[in-house]
Every structure is written in C-alpha cells, then in structure tokens.
Amino acid sequence: MRRAAVILTSVVIGAGTLAASLHAAAGPGAGWTEAERALIRSLALDALPPTPADPSNRVADDPRAAELGRALFFDARLSADGRVSCATCHRPERQFQDDLPLAKGVGTTDRRTMPIAGMAHSPFLFWDGRKDSLWSQALGPLENAVEHGGTRTQYARLVAEHYRGPYEAVFGLLPEVRHLPPHAGPVADPAAAAAWAAMAEGDREAVNRVFANIGKAIAAFERTIAPAPTRFDAYASALGSGGSASILTKDEVAGLRLFIGKGECVNCHNGPLLTDNHFHNTGVPAVPGLPEDRGRAAGAALVREDPFNCLGKYSDAGEGGCAELRFMAADGHELLRAFKTPSLRGAASRPPFMHAGQFAALADVVAHYNAAPAAPAGHSELRPLRLSQAERRQLIAFLATLDPSPDDARPGGS
C-alpha cells in the first residue's frame, strides 16, 4: 500500500530472513554470494525508481510551481521576525539540514532537523510521521511558534504583494486579501487566533487555499532535491562487472558485510535511500528537560486529524487515493516512542544523531545498537549485537562511504 514499497526489491523485503544466511563468506576479503550481491545492488542509488507521483498535489511536477517554491523556500519574510526561512534549518550546503541537536527558528524546537533529499519517496514526514505529503509538511513549520512563527493571513498578504504573478500563473486568480488582519491564523498566539475567529468564513477558506498552495509550491521545489551518488554507489554498481575491488578499502568492505549481516542494519536501513520509511522504537534515551516525546503514537493521531492531509478538502487526490493514510497503523503499543528511520545517506558527516541529537558521534550510535538498552517508554526492538571493537570500527568505516563527495552535492537548483 505504501509508496515506499516501490523502492524495495523482493530481496530487501525478505531482509529479516535473508540476514541470517548472508554471512556465508568467510571474511572481508572473501567474495560475495549471489544473494549478497543482489542485496547490495538493491541499496545503490541507481536502483531508486523515479520520484512517485503525488495525487494530492496537482502541481507537484510543474516547473513553474517549483520555481515559485524555490523562491518561497529561501524567503525569510515567511516568518514572524523576517529572519527565518525554510533554508535556515534546511541548509543546501549541509545536505538540507543544520547540524544542530535541536532545530532553531524564531525559538528552539524539541527535535533534530531531518534532511530533505529523496523525501518525496516517503509516505509520512517528520520524525513522528504527522504529515503525509511534502506540501502538508511544509505548512507545519510556517505556523509553529518556535520555527517560523507566522500566520496564514501574513503569508497570504506576502504572496499577494510579492508573488502575485508567479502564483496566479500556477494556481489561478489570487483572492483579495488586503482587507484581512495582518496577523491571523489558528495558532497559539491568542491575538492571532482571536483575529482568525473573527474573520468571515469565506475569508478563512480563501486564505486556507492560498496557504495550502504555498505548501504545494514549496513541495514542487523539494521534489527536485535528490541524494548525491557516493563511493558505496560506485562500488555497488561495479560489483557485477568485477571492477569494484579498488573502490572500497578492506575495512569498508568488512563494514558493509556487517551492515547486511551480523549488524542487522539493513533490516530497517534498506532500499536505495537506506530507510524503510517506517517507525521503530530503538530504545533511544529521552533528553532531560524536553517534553515527553511519544513519537509515532502521537504522530499517527495528528496526521489523521490534519485538515491538510491527503483526505482533506485541500488535497487534489481523488476518492480512490490516499491508501497510505487510509490503511496506516493508527494505534498500538509498538508506536510508543517509535521514530522514523532516517536515511543513512550522508549521515556520517552530519552529527549529532537521533531525533533530538542524543548521540554526538557515530561511535555512540553503534555502541547504543550494540548494547540494546531498554527503552525509556514502550518496547525497544533491539537486541544486543555483540560486535567487537574492531567490528564497530569497520561498520563506522562503511557508513562513511555513504557520504556524497564535497563537489557532488545536489542542491535542487538553489
């Protein structure tokens, strides 16, 4: 049912069973089995299918929408203080993330910024999956009090003043907004919320349409942001031709063997984006001082209630669409403190790690998975791996091969 399923080969779908048999070769210098070769090739970037269509966004692949979205993405006027844009946290030169344990907009958030590259392949967005499309995801930070901190009428008026031509070329006639309050929206700020409640229903509806279209334009731009190829991809592609020997070092090959075998990493980090796009409780510790984070247990409820979800009236999807939302797991003990599997592409060079930057270095991450501590809430899916120090070092060496070359970033046209 999930769009993510298209990026998993039948080999990867059976990864949990396959992992037990993959360690047939004797050591890092030994040849790969055919099953191992097939699995490794399924992780390569050239196995990534075309970006899936988004039926909920009719302009998802319109170049004019992407150009408007690019301008909006970098426009700091889309914030309460005129200093925060989408690019403030999603920095193009840093894989569209910010290197901070907790993202900083007009205030400080409770979670780490996730990179954007390839996220059009994901059915749910954010660490808790509380959004089900790139365009709906783009709207959340715009109104969040500690991210952009702005309001819907503020943004509608900005579009009317500075982007009327490009907007109308894509979405049609922009409604009249000059008579609306400068700051009104269903947000935490009492004055803005009161101003929103006092507006006529027709005006609120018109503003909501403009707001949704802002998200759809930004999403059209974000769909152009693709992950960059890596040394691992070169190795995986050359594996069938026998030309891979000099691409990775002995330790890196040993680490790859651990990644698909004893380390069990591929069970969740699979497919060309090295994520299953699902949610898992892996016993990551809570951060003292931050509010309780229930992860997917909270996110599943939020995405169902979201007026901008795939089933909502601002979606362009037909009645038969939105299968991921219709059939998603909405409750269950396994959702408590389950967080989205992040892509490992480029991860080695963007510490800190986990949903709130709990681990400063990859060595800390590998140590956590090796020890498999109990979860602070819910039930961890981990089991101790019993990796030696040498094996941990080799696994970290392999993860570094997933970094793009400094001169081969894919900034999406920015």
Q: Are residues 178 and 206 in contact, defined by beta-carbon separation less than 8 angstroms?
A: no
Range with the lowest mean pLDDT among 100-104, 175-179, 201-205, 244-248?
244-248
Per-residue pLDDT at 412 exceeds 50? no
Per-residue pLDDT at 312 exceeds 90? yes
Per-residue pLDDT at 408 exceeds 60? no
Residue 337, both tokens: 């403190």
Q: Where are the domains of the chain?
A: 3-50+230-400, 63-222
Q: Distance between CA atoms of 61 and 149, rounded to whole angstroms?
A: 28
| Mean residue pLDDT across the chain | 92
Amino acid sitting at position 16 = G
Per-residue pLDDT at 239 exceeds 70? yes
Q: Distance between CA atoms of 221 and 414, rounded to whole angstroms?
A: 9
Closest CA to 134 of 115, 154, 119, 144: 119
Please report which confidence band the pLDDT of residue 16 belongs to, taking 50, 70 and 90 as the band edges.
very low
- The mean pLDDT of 18-47, rounded to a whole number, is 71
Per-residue pLDDT at 23 exceeds 90? no
| Bridge partners of residue 131, in order along the sequence | 125
DSSP conformation class of 182? S
Q: Are residues 297 and 337 in contact, defined by beta-carbon separation less than 8 angstroms?
A: yes
Range with the lowest mean pLDDT among 30-44, 252-266, 270-284?
30-44
pTM of the model: 0.91
DSSP structure string for 226-269: -PPPBHHHHHHHHGGGT--TTTS-HHHHHHHHHHHTTT-GGGTS
**3-class SS of residue 97:** strand
**3-class SS of residue 91:** strand
- Matching residue, tokens 């769009």: 3
Q: Is the peptide bond before 352 cis (omega within 30 degrees of 0)?
A: yes
Q: Distance between CA atoms of 281 and 372, rounded to whole angstroms?
A: 11
* Choices 2.40.50.140, 2.30.29.30, 1.10.760.10, 1.10.3720.10: CATH for 3-50+230-400: 1.10.760.10
Closest CA to 361 of 370, 372, 352, 373: 352
Please report which confidence band the pLDDT of residue 213 belongs to, taking 50, 70 and 90 as the band edges.
very high
Q: Are residues 226 and 118 in contact, defined by beta-carbon separation less than 8 angstroms?
A: yes
340: exposed, middle or buried (Cβ count in 10 Å: 0-12, 13-18, 19+): buried
Tens digits of residue pLDDT in 379-400: 999 999 999 999 999 999 999 9
Q: Is the dihedral of CA 121, 125, 129, 135 positive or negative?
A: negative
- Matching residue, tokens 């499309």: 133
Closest CA to 8 of 46, 34, 32, 42: 42
Which phi and psi (to 5°) does residue 295 adopt? 65, -135
pLDDT at 321: 86
- The mean pLDDT of 345-355, rounded to a whole number, is 97
CATH, domain range 63-222: 1.10.760.10
Amino acid sitting at position 159 = V
Please report which confidence band the pLDDT of residue 406 belongs to, taking 50, 70 and 90 as the band edges.
low
Range with the lowest mean pLDDT among 321-330, 365-374, 399-408?
399-408
Q: Is the fold of 3-50+230-400 the same as that of 63-222?
A: yes
Q: Is the dihedral of CA 104, 109, 111, 115 positive or negative?
A: negative
Q: What angle do CA 73, 270, 364 make, to 5 degrees?
A: 80
**3-class SS of residue 397:** helix
Per-residue pLDDT at 324 exceeds 50? yes
Q: Are residues 401 and 247 in contact, defined by beta-carbon separation less than 8 angstroms?
A: no
